[in-house]
Chain A
Amino acid sequence: MTDTGVTDNGSLEAGLILRALGGADDRAFGQLVVMHQSRVRALLRRLCDNIHTADDLAQDVFVIAYQKLSDYRGKGRFSAWLCSIAYRQYLQNHRQRKRERDVHAEYGAWQELANGNSTPDADPMHIDLERALLRLPAPESAAITLNMTLGYSHREVATVMQLPPGTVKSHIKRGLEKLKLQLSASAEHNPASAGREKPV
């Protein structure tokens, strides 16, 4: 992960936050955006069924973060704080317009993924996985993405999602089971892609 190494450099990050506080230095905030955009966008792309919506939401997240930067007290990772804003933004957006799950939307999402907008290699297994993740309920998809893809601990995921750690673990377990079932069913329908599912 390209941004992890930079994120771990806490002093650089803290310096940038201090410089950006109160709108004093927009370039410092720009650097923070560059450092963390990949994580935030990855999370939102997993939750939204349209990458343009996801990226719009990601922009909103950084605008809100800029406005509320003084609320970040340095407890926990800055990227986790951004992810918590992202998750709340997603939920708010989700409440406003129900998730589009009809065939056309699904086809559109598949097309975008197949065109390489989200995954450069457009691996069929990856597309299946992304589609399967979109079918999961938001808390399960978010918990899996935050924990397994973005590498946050259960405790951090619990803070981001404002849920007890036990609930987060249940979401991950249930979500993984559902993913397994969905991908197994998909592999039965499409044995050609199943051959690439398990590279040995």
Chain B
Amino acid sequence: MTIDLESLEDQLRQRPPITDHGFSQAVLRRIAAQRRRRQQTLLALWALAIMAALIVATTQFETWAAHLQPLTSTWATHAGQMLSGTSWQLGLKQLWQPSGEMVVTGLIALLLTTVFVAVWD
């Protein structure tokens, strides 16, 4: 017994619709769970990175300050020159020198936070 091509094609064209029956809800639940896991991982990584940065910063303050001294002095000199002649005669040199290490720590924290916010969602 042979099957003719036409009836075979007719059968193939018949597609009983598949009802949703909670399928879309299951997909949305999976998406939400995946997002939650990702955010938890990111939060944990961010907290660890910030903690590591702070620990390193507090132990290395003096070394960094020594390294950064020439650089911050130059910045302070340039800034002082730029602002000279204006009414703002700020003690920039005094402001920059002790805060060099704080600037670096702040920059690291800012960088980590920026990365964290960028990949959050």
Contacts and interface: CB of A to CB of B under 8 A. Distances in A.
Interface of A: 1-3, 22-23, 26, 29-30, 33-34, 37-38, 41-42, 45, 55, 58-59, 62-63, 66, 118-121, 125-126, 129, 144-145, 148-150, 176, 179-180, 183-184, 187-188, 191, 194, 197-198
Contacts of A150: 15
Task: State the main secondary structure of chain B at its contact with A.
Answer: helix
A42 B2 contact: no
B16 A37 contact: no
B82 to A, nearest CB: 42
Interface residues of B, number: 30
11 contacts: A23-B35, A37-B24, A38-B19, A55-B23, A59-B30, A145-B12, A148-B9, A148-B12, A149-B14, A176-B5, A198-B3
Interface in B1-46: 1-5, 7-9, 11-20, 23-28, 30-32, 34-35
Contacts, number: 92
B9 A41 contact: no
Contacts of B16: 118-121
Contacts of A184: 1-3
A182 to B, nearest CB: 9
